[in-house]
Amino acid sequence: MQKLRKPVYLAAGAYTVSLGSGRKEFDPKKARPGVEYYMQEAGKMAISQTKQPENIDEGVVGNFMAARFNKQGHLAAFLPSIHPSLQYKPMVRVEGACCSGGLAMATGIKNVLTDLADAVLVVGVEVQNTVKAIYGADILAGAGYYAGERKAGHAYFFPAKFSDRAGAYFARYGKDKTRQAMATWYTIAVEHARLNPLSQENQNTTSDLMALGMTAPNAQTFTEYLNLYDCSKVSDGGAAIIVCSEAGYKKLGLSRSDVCEVVGLGQAEDNIMTPPPDLTELTTSKKAVDKALCMAGIDKNNLGVLEVHDCFTITGLLSLEAIGLADKGTAADFVSAGNTRLSGTYPTNTSGGLIGYGHPTGASGVRQAVDLWKQLTGKSDKAQLKLSKEHGLMISMGGNDKTVVSLAVKK
């Protein structure tokens, strides 16, 4: 595997509140801010951490479906509104379903590696609470092969896709222990989110989270194998971080202690027109993770913190197997043993993940990178780990494991 041709770093990360159901300030009957608001809020918070923002060379924004949720395209042209120094500089928008933020990160990294930019502002954004959930589910179905799958698909298209994965996993590896582990995943996600004031589940005061997680699925009202607590929520929010070279972070007035280094980039794409080769594994995610770890020259034993794409609880379990932390069919035992808690062997999704923090789709991959940067630079506040291992890993996944970006980072 080819190595990065020069060091690349992450700096000055920030993200907004994940706004949606569960937040006391959220009122679905009131008008909400648009994508430009979240891009500006996140971008300004990132830039404010630098001393010389005029040295940002380019910008990238990741977004999935603003053209449908918000009737707004042409998002790259909003980036200059974040800071006057961005006017007339190169900007681009990228899209890859729920991996849009991950693709934005990959794009920023590649732009720095070309030597055409020393500092790239990467922003992710999504505003989804503009339509009823059932209509939103149809919009999000565009992350699959719409012409070939939507007509025969479930009303809640993607929950049903991952319900099918859960059902296949139950049948092959055991329902009861897997169901228990999925409820445990939900419980841990909310417990981590309670430490993060920006998370959508931060204000969740439920005393018995496991009982909610164990709610029996109802196929007549939702899906056969997933309940509502197995799902990430509809969310509005934005995230931003600066990808830079060594010269770039110095030109921004930052020091080495302010940044973490990207040491592995894995990107993989599967044919959207074909079904997954195995419903009980995330095959494309595994390919991307293997590439990132190989490029970094490390393995799972070097990882001190993880950010995985838990759009659903079953996806969290499958992600652990894709990384190789658990053998196939054993992720349920791994999670139930507490390994993914802050106090566990492999702390995972320390700010809540997609289920706990929220899932503004285009922003999630960038938000994951921000949380890794925070952990590795000691800026995670109540969720801060005492890292005994210096590397972190993230998985940003789009569609039914079709587009995946994995990053390996170190202090």
pLDDT tier, 268 (very low <50, low <70, confident <90, very high otherwise): very high
Residues 6+ apart with CB under 8 A from 316: 185, 308, 310, 335, 340, 348, 349, 353, 355
| pLDDT reported for residue 112 | 98
- pLDDT tens string 233-243: 999 999 999 99
Q: Is the pLDDT of residue 133 over 90?
A: no
Please tell me the distance from the alpha carbon of residue 321 to that of residue 319, in angstroms, as a whole number: 5
| pLDDT reported for residue 31 | 84
Share of the chain above pLDDT 90, in %: 96
Domains and their CATH numbers in the chain: 1-411 (3.40.47.10)
- pLDDT tens string 313-351: 999 999 999 999 999 999 999 999 999 999 999 999 999
Site of tokens 């993770």: 289
Q: Is the pLDDT of residue 310 over 70?
A: yes
For residues 131-139, give the mean pLDDT: 91
pLDDT tier, 164 (very low <50, low <70, confident <90, very high otherwise): very high
pLDDT tier, 111 (very low <50, low <70, confident <90, very high otherwise): very high
CA torsion, ordered 362, 141, 187, 376, to nearest 10 deg: -20
| pLDDT reported for residue 291 | 98
How many C-beta neighbours within 10 Å does residue 339 have? 18
Per-residue three-class SS string for the chain: CCCCCCCEEEEEEEECCCECCCCCCCCCCCCCCCHHHHHHHHHHHHHCCCCCHHHCCEEEEECCCHHHHCCCCCHHHHHHHHCHHHCCCCEEEECECECHHHHHHHHHHHHHHCCCCCEEEEEEEEECCCCCHHHHHHHHHHHCCHHHHHCCCCCCHHHHHHHHHHHHHHHHHCHHHHHHHHHHHHHHHHHHHCCCCCCCCCCCCCCCHHHHHCCCCCCCCCCCCCCHHHECCCCEEEEEEEEECHHHHHHCCCCHHHEEEEEEEEEEECCCCCCCCCCCCCHHHHHHHHHHHHHHCCCHHHEEEEECCCCEHHHHHHHHHHHCCCCCCCHHHHHHCCCCCCCCCCCECCCCHHHHCCCCHHHHHHHHHHHHHHHHHCCCHHHCCCCCCCEEEEEEEECCCCEEEEEEEEC
| pLDDT reported for residue 30 | 87
| pLDDT reported for residue 296 | 97
Please tell me the distance from the alpha carbon of residue 70 to that of residue 362, in angstroms, as a whole number: 13
Q: Is the pLDDT of residue 286 over 90?
A: yes
pLDDT tier, 1 (very low <50, low <70, confident <90, very high otherwise): low
Of the chain, the end-to-end C-alpha distance in Å amounts to 22
- pLDDT tens string 175-203: 999 999 999 999 999 999 999 999 999 99
| pLDDT reported for residue 127 | 97
pLDDT tier, 380 (very low <50, low <70, confident <90, very high otherwise): very high
Contact indicator for 76, 120 with CB cutoff of 8 Å: no
- pLDDT tens string 10-67: 999 999 999 999 999 999 888 889 999 999 999 999 999 999 999 999 999 999 999 9
- Mean pLDDT over the full length of the chain: 97
